[in-house]
Amino acid sequence: MSNEETAGTEAPPTSTEARELVASNPLWYHVLELGHGLVTPGWFDLRPIVGSMPWPDVAGKRCLDVGPYDGFLSFELERRGAAEVIAVDIGDATEWDWALRERRSGPQALSVGGGTRTGRGFEIAKELLGSNVERRELNVYDLSPDVIGHFDVVVCGTLMLHLKGPIAALEAIRSVCTGHFLSSEQIDPLLTALQPNRPSAYQKGGLNCQWWVPNAAGHRAMVAAAGFEIERTIRPYAVPLGPDHRDAGTTPGARGRLRQLPGRLVTGGLGVPHSALLARPGAIEE
């Protein structure tokens, strides 16, 4: 190979360098397998449930992941054969939908000594995986065909919980989706059990940047209200906690086991109860 051909080519990180890169990120949201025998700590582990989600065929498609954080679903789209994957996320935690009382304290609490900029974990994972996924800084509310174009497949996981205006966000997602929309969201298991067919939601008032937690019927209703037609749903499932989650590895007392009971009854597992569905943009009146 000539000098011209090798110019600008960087050797992949060694195993030691890869471990140092992972350790340099103070907060991992997703548990990710990054090669070199490396698995990130993470708050949540999607690996056991990702195969059960209602995926459309993404092979050869232009795909969008909305709110990727460390990018688990972005890299899963790429692994499944997507021709192009773009991930859009807010660039700084200070721009999240914080409640007024937490606009200063919330981002500071998340910084863990690493500042409020987001995306460090995503970039490390992309490098170690040799991925071609492109991350762009863009608020979900600002999605539009003029800004980012159209996509054959859009995925969005556990984002509506953190938004003051989830329906507006879903409408923005619909504006750029021409094929399938895979939506996975946290649900309230007690409301799901007590009102399986009546849309409802628990309002958390913005505490810890958390707003609306619907039941499974509420999740479906939100997506439908934004102009989608739902094609497929699956049974609610539990997203397991990763090793970095504050409750991981703890043995709950009697009160904790009682709190877990609705989730276990609805999902059949331990973790954060979720609902997932596959939808298409429906016809709308002009």
In a domain, 6, yes or no: no
Q: Tell me whether residue 8 is in a domain.
A: no
Instruction: Report the C-alpha gap between 83 and 247 in whole angstroms.
Output: 38
Domain membership of residue 1 (yes or no) is no
For residue 67, pLDDT beyond 80: yes
Q: What pLDDT does 9 receive? A: 59
Flag whether 286 is in a domain: no
In this predicted structure, what is the pLDDT of residue 4? 44
> What integer is the mean pLDDT of 117-136?
96
* 5 confidence band (pLDDT: 50, 70, 90): very low
94-113 tens-digit pLDDT: 999 999 999 889 888 876 55
* CA distances for 16 relative to 11, 124, 206, angstroms: 13, 14, 41
In a domain, 131, yes or no: yes
> Average pLDDT, stretch 9-27?
88
* Residue 2: inside a domain: no
Residue 88: inside a domain = yes
pTM tops 0.85, yes or no: yes
State how far the Cα of 232 lies from the Cα of 33, in Å rounded to an integer.
29
Confidence check: pLDDT of 7 > 70: no
Please check the confidence at residue 6 and state whether its pLDDT lies above 60: no
CATH of the domain at 188: 3.40.50.150
Q: Work out the percent of the chain whose per-residue pLDDT is above 90.
A: 81
Distance between CA atoms of 261 and 263, rounded to whole angstroms? 5
Total domains in the fold of the chain: 1
Percentage helix, strand, coil for the chain under 3-state DSSP, each rounded to 5: 35, 20, 40
160-210 per-position pLDDT tens digit: 999 999 999 999 999 999 999 999 999 999 999 999 999 999 999 999 999
Domain that holds residue 199: 13-281
134 within a domain of the structure (yes/no): yes
Pick 105 or 46 by higher pLDDT: 46
Identify the DSSP state of 35.
Answer: S
